Each structure stands twice: as C-alpha cells, then as structure tokens.
Structure 1
C-alpha cells in the first residue's frame, strides 16, 4: 500500500516488541561463525527521527520506546542496536539488522514506496546491503532459498489492505517449503477487531512447530485500535523462548 509511511508510528510499542525480538534472533544466529542472509519484505526508510512532526503528532513513540526502554538490561542486543544508530535516530528493523550483523552477512531489503525507498537508499549504505524497489513478498519468493542458506526473514506488512490477512498463510507456506532452514518472522497487529485470529490459526495449522509470541499494551491514544503486537516465527531458533519470555515480562510490567 503506497500510502503507508512508518514515520507516524516509528518507535511505538509494536516496534519495540518486533525489533527487540529480531535483535534476540540475530544475536543468537551470529554466535556461529557462519555467514547468513537477512531478507526484509517491507523495509521502510531504515531509520527515523522521533522528533519529526509526524512522529510527535501520533504520540506513539512516547507510549513505546520512551516508556519501555528503561526496562531492558543494558546488555540486551536491542539496546546495542539502539546505541549503534547515529545522530539520536531510531533504528527501524533494517538498521537493527545492519547493526547486529557482520560484514560477511548479506542483507536484502525491499521497499515499494518511492519516497521511503529513496530514503532507505540514503540511510543504509554498506557493501553487504542490497536495496530493491519492488513488492517484498514477490522479492522473497524470487530470492529463496538465498545464498548463504542460513538466515532470517522479517515480514512486516502494514495490513492497510485487509486481504493481506487472507493471503499471508499461503504465501508463508510457500516460502517455508522453498527455504526450510530459514527463520521466518511474520509480524501482525493485535487489533480490537481481532482480524488477525483466523490468519494465525491457519498458520499454526500449517506450521505446528512454529512459535507465536504476542504482547499486549494500552492503546497509544483514545480510539486507537491496536492493543498488542504479535510475531509468528517459523523455524524458531533453539532456546529463543527464554529471551521472548523476558520480553513478555517487560510488557507486563510496562517499563
């Protein structure tokens, strides 16, 4: 959906959940001295100024990273990713990944929105990063299985088009057939409408060994329909449960 710009929502509670979980996964995956591939289907602009009028207007960062950051231990990989982002900017998931991955790892980032794509190209420049202006779901299909075969994929649609809830289970099943060793993380919002439930139920049926991790939080403002954040993780890394349990506890405390 070409109208979506994440700056209005950057640093919100869902971003904290998504990016902290991604940081845990990448931290685990880079323990082995073997290169890996990172694929992101909806990359946005990569980094965000939380003082920009768009971000301030919604107040979502104030209810997200500003409220929750103090609850993380100083050695958490998410905190390391935040500290590596320059000029006080907030790292989106591409910057979290680039900050935690190694020069020999390969990053493939898709962004279809022309302005966001242009900003992404300016914000993330590294020899091991390749940026595409094309549909991210189609790109992922064309890249899988990637080289190196070890790796992580983050799927982070806007869900502005309701049909995405219906198409994603079949798409995910196709990706995991082509790339049966890849860790595939699919984010979804928890809305008051409960629109995510049939999608998650189908994915659990298709992937009985996968992991679904959800956290809940208060609406960012009156009338806001998002009340939580979910991640469906196919081929979850061994022992990632402990790190995710820590995330659950942080959100339950609220800081």
Structure 2
C-alpha cells in the first residue's frame, strides 16, 4: 500500500523514541575509525516541515518533539541532528531517519535509502542531494536482501514500515530472520507501533522466540494523540545491539514516564547467548 505519508505524524512521540535510539546507535558505530553502511527499507521523505498544514492538522509534533526536545542534553546525537537540521532549514524543520543518519555520517560511510511512494521518493531525493546517500525507488526489504552483506560490512539497517496491513506484522519476523542470516554482524532495528487493538502482539511474541543474538526489545507508552487514536506506544526490536543502547533505552523509558503519567511498558533484553537479562 502506498497511501501512508509520514508528514502527518512527523516528530510525534513514536518518532522521538525511534529516532533517539537510532541516533545513539549510529553515534556509537561512528566512534570506531572504520566506515559503515546504513540501510533504510522505508525511508520516507527525509526532511519534514512541522509548520505544514498536514503536520498542524494532527498536532502530534507539538505533543512529541516540541515538548520533549528540551529533555535531551545538547550533546545527545539526536539533539545535535535536530539542531543542525534547524540551522540549515529553519526552526520548524524536523529530520527523518535518513537525514539523522546523514548528519551523523563521516567520510567513507555509505547510505542506501529505499522508498516506493512516488511523492515521498521525490522529496527524499531532493533532501538527500548534499549527502553521501543513494536513493532507490524500490521495495526496501527486497533491496536490502539483495545487497546484504554490504561493503563496508559494519553498519546498521532500519526497518520502519507503515503497518498499513496485517500482513506487515506477519512478515517482519521472517524478513528480520533472513536479513540477519545474510548480514550476521549488522545492527538491525525494527520499529513497530503499540496499538490498542493488540495486532502487534503476535509479531512481538514471534520476535522474542527467535533468539536473535544481542537482541533488545524496548517499548514506551504514551497517551493517544487524540480521542479514538489507536497508537498508545512505540516499540523497537534490535539485533546485535550496540554497546550503551540498553542504557539509553532505560533513560528514554524514564523520560516518557514523566510525561502525562504515561503508562510504563516493560523492556526485555536478551543476551548474546539468547537468555533473558530482565
């Protein structure tokens, strides 16, 4: 399906959760003097205008990044990426995950960004022109599978589907398994929504049962964006979790719990041997 456009939801609370963890992981990978490859399977447009009518219509950014940004220290890689974006594009701009990755890139790093939606792809190409990123108007999962393992071999892949259909939930554990088989050293991050319908629950159960190495599952809860809205939380599942990301997840969990007395959600961390650490 190609109806989803993230501009309506850019900078919402799920973005804060997902993008803060993404930035922290990329920052850690960038500390070693070795180049990395970054993949995205559902890249979106890369750069968002939070003053656009679509964003203003939902008000999700006002409840999300505009409220939560002051809670991040200035040196946090997520805060740095936002500050740089706003210096370049204005105070109401917001970086999507491709731009966050690009702003944390170093010489020698490479990025491949896949996006099928024609309008989103055109905007992505324009946003990424100044950076060392290659945009692909292709199915992102199929593209990643065809390119893994990449060169440079160190790196990270973000899977961030729209979950417009139930089939996405059913397919993601299968895709993650095969991507890990092909790229066993890659950091693989899957984002998913926490929904009142519970449609995500079976996918999470399957992911937990797969015994991926160095797996981290972290979820945060928050109040719905508006009455009747079904998303009440955000989750990430990470394979080959980088050092320090578990600590960052715990810090983010505490941050979310301070907001609106948001319901705490349990996180589950699995050791590299596949045994639960709590």
Same fold (TM over 0.5): yes
**Greater RCO, CA 8 A, separation 6+:** 1
Superposition map of 1:115-194 within 5 A:
115-126=119-130, 128-194=132-198
Cα deviation, residue 103, structure 1: 2.4
The corresponding residue for 2:222 is 217
Does the aligned pair in 2 maintain the 1:46–1:92 contact within 8 Å?
Answer: yes
Q: Could you report, residue by residue, the CA deviation over 1:76-115 in whole angstroms, capped at 9, with x for unpaired residues?
A: 1100010111222100000000011112100000000001
**Structure 1 spans left out of the alignment, 5+ residues:** none
Structure 1 segments of 4 or more deviating over 4 A?
none
Computed over aligned residues only, the root mean square deviation of the Cα atoms, in angstroms, reads 1.1
Distance 1:238 1:93 in 2: 20
Aligned residues: 255
Does the aligned pair in 2 maintain the 1:110–1:136 contact within 8 Å?
Answer: yes
TM-score by length of 2: 0.90
**Structure 2 spans left out of the alignment, 5+ residues:** 261-278
Cα deviation, residue 214, structure 1: 0.6
The alignment status of 1:80 with 2:83, answered yes or no, reads no
Cα deviation, residue 68, structure 1: 1.0
SS of match in other structure, 1:15: helix
SS of match in other structure, 2:153: coil
Distance 2:78 2:14 in 1: 14
Cα deviation, residue 208, structure 1: 4.4
Q: Could you report, residue by residue, the CA deviation over 1:143-202 in whole angstroms, capped at 9, with x for unpaired residues?
A: 100100000000000000111100111111000000000000000000001111111111
TM-score by length of 1: 0.98
Does the aligned pair in 2 maintain the 1:72–1:250 contact within 8 Å?
Answer: no
Distance 1:211 1:7 in 2: 28
